[in-house]
Structure formats: C-alpha cells, structure tokens
Structure 1
Amino acid sequence: MEIPEELITALEVPALELTALQGVNGVGLGMREENEEFFDELAVRVYVDDATDVPELPTQVHGLPVCVVEFSIEPLFTPDTSRHDPLVGGAQIEQAPMAAGTLGAVVLRNDDNTLAGLTCHHVSGDTGSRVFQPTAPPMPIGSTPDLTDSLGQVIAFDSPVSQAIPTAAGGTLWLGRQVDAAIIALDEAAQQGRSFSNEIANGFVPVCDPSMTGP
C-alpha cells in the first residue's frame, strides 16, 4: 500500500496531538484494522496501551478513518549504569550528573601512541572537562569530586560554534554540526586499575572485528 509523502507531512501535527493523549503510545499510517481483521483501506492507526480504556478520539483525520490498535510498549533498553571494566565503546559516560552520553570507542592516538576515548563534543564538553563512566558523582560547588569512576579530562575537540548544517528531524530541518567530536584522556581510569578494549558494546554483548589485534 503506497502512502503519499504529502499525506505523511500533513499528519505530523495531528499525530503529535494524538500521542499527547493519556494512554496513546503511538500513531501510524497503514491498513485499517478492526478486531484484529485487516481491510484494504488506508487509515490512521492509533496505538494504545489498553483498548478498553481509550481516550476520546476523532473518527477521521484528514479524511482518513481512525482505528484503534491495542499495542503496549515495553522499553527494550534501560540506562546503562554498569561500570565497564574493561572499558569498551558504547558504554554510558557523563560529564556531569544526569547528563549521559555514549563513549564511541577506545582509540590509539597517532601523536603519542596513548589510548584515548572518542566521543561527541556535545557529550564531553570542552577541553579540560572531566568525564566519568558510568555516571558522574554529585559535584557541589567548592567540593572535590570522587574520581573513582573518572576516565580523565577532555584533551581536544572539534566542533564549530555556529551550527549551520541543516539536519532533517521529522518534517523540519534543524541546524546541526558538521563535526561533533572529542577525545578524552584515560589516564585517571588507568590509575583506578581499569583495563581497556577495542570492543564496542551493541546493547547486549561486546562485539569486535576479530582481525583487530589492538585498540
């Protein structure tokens, strides 16, 4: 069933309004469904947690019938608060409490053959910022943070101040970054006895290229 692009665009705002309703967990376009029977008719499919407790919905949106589909959603992933040792790519890192991002990989610097963490600048912060794994400790002003989970400080970053690259997000364009990269020293992690790996966690287990013999 072909769905016109202009119809998808027209339904973006109504879909946001519908998903804001209590009990609605998603809106899509597809075949009309009634009592688990499908009909060869395009419809706005509203997914709900409980079909017996549905909020008031329109019968049509942009001339299309609305059908209700019971489809509860269970998160596949939860925040990764595991302390990875050895440290691998894909692990959660934080520059400050409750500001989590992802470590891209453990890499080898060409300049001095030392190991470093590769991530995004918007995750790590500027040069000199300290990054922790898995989470940053409380850091009241004037106090010395607990460095047990510290990886080290940001060595360098490449990220323009002006955001000028249009990036698609739904039906709109947001100004994004052409480059968003940073490297983190791992000296403080090494001082805490951590080891390092070139593996990258895929959400379940670490994966790597068997041909790689080092980071």
Structure 2
Amino acid sequence: MRCYLLERERSALDLYLPDESLLAASIRSGLDPKYVKGILAGANGGLGARFEVLGRVSKKDRKLPGLMYWSWVPAFNSAAYEMLMEVGAASSDFLACGLTGREDVVHLHLPEGVENVININQSIFSHSVPIDPPLPYSAVHVHLNAGFESLSPIFRTRPPGSSQVTPDVYFCGDAVDGWSRKRLTGASFKQVA
C-alpha cells in the first residue's frame, strides 16, 4: 500500500479561532481529535465554531486552498473534502466549521476512532514530542501494523498507551492521486511507505 505524509505548501493558509475561552477548552486534552471535535461542535449554542482565515486568499477569485491548518488540525476546502469522500473517507471523521466574513465552510479532520496503525518502533521519524509516551512526527519511513492493509484514504495514528494522536496526517495513494487529478492546492505529499 502506498502511504504518504501530508505536508503543507506555501499556499496553505492558517485558521484562527478568535474565541479564547473556546480555544483554551479545545487544548485541555492535547492532541485528542474526539475531544476537540466535541468542544468545537458544541460552540455557539451547537452551531459550531467559526474560524478566521490568516494570510492572503487569492485576490483573483477569493478561492481558498485545498489545505489549511488550525494548529495541528488539517482543514480542507469543500473541493478537497468532496474528493476525500469520493475516494472513501468517512464524513464522520470531519467537522464542518464556518468562516467569519465568508460563506465558505472548512472541514476539519478530527477522526473519532484513531488506532495504533503505525508500528512506531519499526518506523523512522525525524522529531518527537518529549512526553510519556513520546509522540513521534515528521515521518521518514513507516511500517504499518498487521491488520491495517486497508485504511481510510486519510488517517492518523495513536501510539500504544497514549490518549493523543501523533501530529502527522497520512494519505493513501488514492487520495494523493485524487488531489492531483482535482488540481487542489496547499498540500504536498512525501511517500513514507
């Protein structure tokens, strides 16, 4: 199986969460997508969090890039989200959020079920968050654990014994091919398996 590390291009924009109390609540459990998704979904009386776009959106057509980031969470424009759905991603792994001053919606990748997909001990990473257990990131080469021959087109991994996910996000080959076919922007991909 072809597996790629999702990396941001220069055209990727950052998202900003202007509600400081919501921001503080969202980081209490570290890199826990299910927890963060619950906090953001319940914001604004259940209408969900609203983000601001940092950086310059294309002046020509005001089009958002396919990939944006809010902290460690990748966010996708509607075209990128639709492509991920076409190649088999689960809509339940995303949270749609509004953007202040825009009609666009971004789809944050916050999967509720993250498993120990990658064998951390047999893989190579260039960095690690020094907590217990460590959270490796910036994959150079990964080995998938047995039983994960078929994966979602976009996935994260959770190290054994950790309640948090690693910062890295991975795409399978079909998703990378779809990104290229749709000419989406903001992302590049490094093959790691």
TM class, shorter-chain normalised? under 0.3
Q: Give the structure-2-normalised TM-score.
A: 0.22
Task: Report which of the two has the higher share of strand.
Answer: 1
Which structure: larger Rg? Answer: 1
The higher-RCO structure (CA 8 Å, 6+ apart) is: 2
Q: Which has the higher helix share?
A: 2
